Amino acid sequence: MQQPYQVATQSALTQQNKVLRNTYFLLAISMLPTIAGAVLGLVLGPRFLLLLVYHPIISTVAFFGIIWGLMFGIQRTKDSAAGIVLLLLFTLFMGLMLTPILTFALRLSNGVQLIAAAAGGTAAIFFVLAGIATFSKKDFSFLGKFLTVGLIVVLLAIVANIFLNMPALDMTISVACIALFSLFILYDVSRVLNGGETNYITATLAIYLDVYNLFVYLLRLLIALSGRE
């Protein structure tokens, strides 16, 4: 007969694995509105880009307003179907915000190949790191403080480079962000497996942002390395 603590441990593991399965499924589904948003942005094309260029303050305020509003809504409704709807709306909007970098990439002769390489590289990194977190069963929560500090440093560097506009610093930021968000994948998947995150909607949101940013900065790096930025 199993001891009570063994039953409790087995139940916790079953629940954590269920959350992870639901997270992966919702993450896969969330890529569909992301692609739809990206296609919509490319269809809108110049009109959307002109809005971003000629109204930078308005577009920036609107961007953060929508992002934080949707994230707040997801957090408040994470235990209901409304949370899934808001998450999918969030990913649709994030896909739309890929318009500038995708438009720039597609103007290059090898733009399609660069986008495909960034997408393939992102998928490969995700599967490798998610596999490490899943099969090693190691708790990577110790990365939390390091990742927080790293994120702050990167954000400061991004703000600084708005004024400095140094290509070398921009490339350094891209490399740092690729490493940072790769580690975030390891950290966030580990949190689900070790009971640090018990809601699959908010878990999906966290991992989605890791994957999204990894793709963006990997594409930026590939564009820079192509020598045509």
- Per-residue pLDDT reduced to its tens digit, 34-61: 999 999 988 887 666 666 655 666 677 7
Is residue 63 predicted with pLDDT exceeding 70? yes
Q: Is the dihedral of CA 157, 211, 79, 147 positive or negative?
A: negative
Q: How many domains does the chain have?
A: 1
pLDDT tens string 165-215: 888 999 999 999 999 999 999 999 999 988 888 899 999 999 999 999 999
Is residue 229 predicted with pLDDT exceeding 70? no
Nearest Cα neighbor of 143 from 198, 176, 180, 178 is 180
Is residue 9 predicted with pLDDT exceeding 70? no
The residue type at 18: K
Structural domain span for residue 33: 4-225
| pLDDT (average), residues 113-120 | 96
Nearest Cα neighbor of 213 from 181, 183, 185 is 181
Residue 6: exposure state from Cβ atoms within 10 A (0-12, 13-18, ≥19):
exposed
For residue 140, what are the CA distances in angstroms to 89, 126, 131, 156, 191? 30, 15, 13, 25, 8
Report the predicted TM-score, pTM, of the whole model to 2 decimal places. Answer: 0.89
CA 148 to chain centre: 15
Residue 100 is predicted with a pLDDT of 87
Nearest Cα neighbor of 197 from 144, 160, 132, 125 is 144
Contact yes or no for 134/190 (Cβ under 8 A): no
Alpha-carbon distance of 153 to 155, in angstroms, equals 5
Alpha-carbon distance of 82 to 127, in angstroms, equals 28
Is residue 226 predicted with pLDDT exceeding 70? yes
Contact yes or no for 221/174 (Cβ under 8 A): yes
CA 201 to chain centre: 14
Alpha-carbon distance of 23 to 201, in angstroms, equals 7
Count of H-run helices and E-run strands, the chain: 9, 0
Residue 54 is predicted with a pLDDT of 58
Phi-psi region of 227 (alpha: psi -120 to 50; beta: other; left: phi over 0): left
One DSSP character per residue, 88-116 reads HHHHHHHHHTTHHHHHHHHTSTTHHHHHH
- Biggest distance spanned by C-alpha atoms of the chain: 71
